[in-house]
Each structure stands twice: as C-alpha cells, then as structure tokens.
Amino acid sequence: MSSVVYNQVSKFYADGTKAVDALDLQIAEGEFMVIVGPSGCGKTTALRMAAGLEDISSGELSIGGKVVNALEPRDRDIAMVFQNYALYPHMSVFENIAFPLENQKLSREEIRKRVEGAAAILGLEEHLGRRPKNLSGGQRQRVAMGRAIVRRPKAFLMDEPLSNLDAKLRVQMRAEITRLQRQLGVTTLYVTHDQVEAMTMGHRIAVMRKGVLQQVGTPLELYERP
Ligand code: ADP
Ligand code: ADP
C-alpha cells in the first residue's frame, strides 16, 4: 500500500504565516494527483511536508499507511523531482542515476541492473557514459527522473518539474511523465501553477487558494463545474 494521506494537516511558519490550513487529501495507491493554484497558495509547502523538508505544525500525514510526521526524508520511501534538478556535473549519467543507491547495501551487479533498467524506461541507454553538460534539457530532465525511480520509492513528489523548460519541451515532457507514471504505477503528487498541465496530467486535481483546499476532482468534474 502506498497511498499518501493528509489528515487535517496545517503549516504555520515562524512569522505567523498560515501556509496550509487543515488540509484533508487522500492520494490513492497508483494515483496521479496534481495540486494546482496561484503562487503563494501553499502547494509547495504541502508537498515539502510530505517530503519531510518542512515540519508539520498540526495534523497527521501518512505514506503507505505509516504516519511520517516524525520521520526523516530518507526514511519516508519517497523520491522528489524539483524544477532545478541538480545533477552532479562531474558525474556521468550512470553515476547520477546510481547515486541514491550508494548507501544501500546492493551489489555492483544489482546497481548496474537497476540503473540500466531505469535508463531503458527513460530512453537513456545510449547516454549512460555522458556528462550532464553534454545532454539536452529533456535528457537532463530524464536523468533526474531516473534518479527518482531507481530506488523504487512508494511515492513520487514533483514540484513544478517542467517550469524551466521551453514550451515545446514542456509539452513533450508532460506526456513522458504521464507515461512513466502509468508504466510504473507509482503514487504521484505533482505541484504546478499551470492549469493546462494540471488538466492534462492529473487523474485528479486538488485546487488550493490561500492555504485552503477549494475542490478536488477529475479534470472532467472540475471542467464541468468551474
Ligand atoms: P514558489 O512561489 O515558486 O513556491 P517562492 O519564490 O515563493 O517560490 O519561494 C522561494 C523560497 O523562499 C522557498 O524556499 C520558500 O519556502 C521561501 N519563502 C517564500 N516566502 C517566504 C517568506 N515569506 N519568508 C521566508 N521564506 C519564504
Ligand atoms: P506556492 O508553492 O503555492 O507558491 P508556498 O507554499 O511556497 O506557496 O507558500 C505559501 C505561503 O507561505 C506564502 O504566503 C509564502 O510566502 C509563505 N512561505 C513560504 N515559505 C515560507 C517560509 N519559509 N517562511 C515564511 N513564510 C513562508
């Protein structure tokens, strides 16, 4: 079971800002949920709490049926993809993808198998020996995703992963992420301010405004009752 469940989750920052207000949201196993809303609505904070990068002020957050409020990021069995996908420039594509496996007790052979498996899914087989600077923007994005999937996490957390790409590539990567998510069947929480992205990618969409969840529904449901 790898659902992600927010139960009355709130976030107050030290300066008193109420960034997320009693969020109730259930992302089912294998579901692609998009949180959409304008800048400052609290969507990044909501995601960062699931990732363990931001403390939860009140409420309970569960991943895979386990309350994670007090767990370190590395113990949460999640993978995160950011807009700045921070690849290591001095490492090859292979080493970048393999990096999250370094601290696990895996044989060289098992690491090689996993990295090659991830590369095959992402169409990177031919590029494993290259450095990031010799890749296109789309290829770099794929390496970042390879690094995320190689550990076989319970959930993907993505924060505006496409916002640094040009318009054409963005449309292409939307389709690729959708395909990858379906192929792996991995529970996914994806944050964006882009409504078209939300509508084309999400199984369901959670609309936030000023820290408050406004509505949740499939693209069709939201489109029919705007
Ligand atoms: P985005 O709108 O893309 O989520 P922002 O530009 O609002 O990003 O925020 C960038 C960084 O600054 C984030 O790490 C966020 O936590 C932090 N930040 C945003 N607003 C404040 C604030 N009022 N006080 C302190 N840090 C903030
Ligand atoms: P979004 O991702 O939708 O742009 P955020 O979650 O980044 O929204 O921010 C939600 C609210 O919390 C905003 O008002 C933002 O300024 C504020 N905020 C974000 N990070 C911090 C921080 N580190 N300290 C104080 N306020 C913050």
45 lines ligand 1 (CB under 6 A): no
Q: Rounded to 5 degrees, what angle do the CA atoms 193, 199, 22 make? A: 55
Query: What span, in angstroms and rounded, lies between the C-alpha atoms of 17 and 171?
Result: 34
pLDDT tens by residue, the chain, 226 residues = 789 999 999 999 999 999 999 999 999 999 999 999 999 999 999 999 999 999 999 999 999 999 999 999 989 989 988 776 689 999 999 999 999 898 888 999 999 999 999 999 899 999 999 999 999 988 998 999 899 889 889 999 999 988 888 888 889 889 989 999 999 899 999 999 999 999 999 999 999 999 999 999 999 999 876 5
Matching residue, tokens 């496409």 = 162
- Checking DSSP bridges between strand 155-159 and strand 187-192, what pairing results, if any? parallel
Counting atoms of ligand 2 from 1, which one is nearest the CA of 44?
2
Two structure tokens written together for 204: 């369901």
Mutation test residue for ligand 1: of 11, 20, 44, 159, the one with most atoms within 8 Å of CB: 44
Tokens (6 digits) for 36: 């959409």
- Give residues (CB < 6 A) around ligand 2: 13, 15, 17, 19, 37, 39-45
